[in-house]
Amino acid sequence: MRFNRASGILLHPTSLPGDFGIGDLGDRAYEFVNLLAAAGQTYWQILPLGPTGYGDSPYSSYSAFAGNTLLISPEKLVSDGLVGIDVIEAKPDFPIDKVDYGMVIEWKAWMLSRSFESFQSGAGEPIRDEFDAFDRENEWWLDDYAIFRAVKASQGNSPWYDWAAPLRSRDADALDTVRSQLAREIRAEKFCQFLFFRQWRDLKQHAEDSGVRIIGDIPIFAALDSADVWCNQELFKLQPDGSPTVVAGVPPDYFSNTGQRWGNPIYDWDAMRGNDFGWWSARVAFALQLVDIVRLDHFIGFIQNWEVPGGDETAENGQWAEVPGRGLFESLTRRLGTLPVIAEDLGSLTPEVEALRDHFNFAGMRILQYGFGGDPRDSHLPHNYVNNCVAYTGTHDNNTTVGWYRSAPKDQRALCRKYLNSNGRQPHWELIRAAFASVADTAIVPMQDVLGLGADTRMNTPATAGNNWKWRLGPDDLSDERMERLKEITAMYGRSNDIGDTAGGQP
């Protein structure tokens, strides 16, 4: 579907400022929504909201349906009467400018455990009926997820494919046994999910009331060690012991000479097609209850997958395998209607990928940082944009614009300055202006670019591990001067959220 002319900011909630080690769904999130609205922005784009596992990547989640409980606001738990002020005052001395996931996970687990104990003892009486309703309405995914996490904790957090055979294969008697033995732990997992979704619902409603729409993100693949794969083993290409026959990745490219071995299991698309893509329908429908628009990550994967042998350490020996993307989206459209989708169509943009995107009228993506290689026909240069696309200065996988400009080859910097008629002193504002001035229906800017921050604040460096997903805003970063300048550029190029109906789109 087409979107009205508008703009927005890319910032994952973990990057919000605050006192509790990680951005959360509390007051600072509401303040950020207010800042977006005041600056004329229509969209807040986020990364996936699922519970993160090893490596802390939002693209490697324990569930395609569950929420990341690290985002639960401690202050809102005080307001609900689930913990006392003394609990949140006992927080560790967290770093301000980055997320120390080890510290955050340990402290929030303790805090959420205290919240659950209080709830079990009768605290939070006004929300008790609400929790029971949440449990009933979400039973179709919540039961399996809660059992998965409770069993995983009881097994020393080992992956499901290392569990004893009866649990690994979901033997009915084995599942009945753990439901009985781990009943309290299972209920605690459900309660934490309830807290997340309750806080997210309220924040999303505030955004909607403020004229801000949320762009979410659906990773194309599921994590191997996830409730999704454990509960749907027949829908993935797995060995009898649960290990993957082939795993996902991409061939050697701009980011890595050996490609990227992501390690996600590959869908058995024949099995998916056999039940009319029911798992995917549930996934997309659920996502569209949480956000207004979804970005489909790695859109090329709906045409073909780079299948890497499960035992390989790099992605060099993979091969392409066809995917029934058209059948999938036809099924989704029949069930869900017109899909508000942004297709992450970066990388090897083949005619088949373009045809699939355009057949369903999905918006594609253009990245300004990619445009200055010397070819005037480059699709990432603004004079080659089409209306139905989303213009980005960069994404969460790119360097910040300042970091990119400083590290780019001399000829690229020269071309950038010449193309933008710029002196190069503020490359972030020059690229923001170019994106907003373009004919693209939508323009999105990472928050780091509004702030003019350098390479040390980038969110993710693909094909690396250990220092990603950690960046956070400082308490004083969102100055009035910067947001006012953003507001002026937004209004100048007709993208302000007070122009027309920004809630929907055009068929």
Cα gap 396→462, rounded to integer Å? 10
Q: Are 216 and 203 in contact (CB under 8 A)?
A: no
DSSP-derived secondary structure for 241-267:
TS-BSEEEEE-S-SS-TT-EEEEEEPB
* Distance, CA of 467 to CA of 49 (rounded, Å): 19
Sheet with strand 6-10: strands edge to edge: 341-343, 293-296, 213-218, 43-45, 6-10, 442-446, 389-392, 364-367
The single residue of 143, 189, 344, 345 carrying the catalytic annotation is 344
- Distance (Å, whole) CA 195 – CA 25: 11
CA 174 – CA 16 distance, rounded (Å): 42
Q: Which of 75, 225, 292, 297 is catalytic?
A: 297
313 among known catalytic residues: no
List residues bridging with 294 in a β-sheet.
216, 341
CA 188 to CA 31: how far, in whole Å? 30
Q: Pairing state of beta strands 6-10 and 246-250?
A: unpaired
Q: Which residues are CB-neighbours of 22 under 8 A, at least 6 positions away? A: 14, 70, 71, 94, 99, 101, 104, 108, 472
- 202 catalytic per annotation: no
Write the burial class of residue 249 (CB in 10 Å: 0-12 exposed, 13-18 middle, 19+ buried). Answer: buried
Confirm whether 344 is a catalytic residue. Answer: yes
User: For residue 398, what is the DSSP state?
Assistant: S
List the catalytic residues.
297, 344, 397
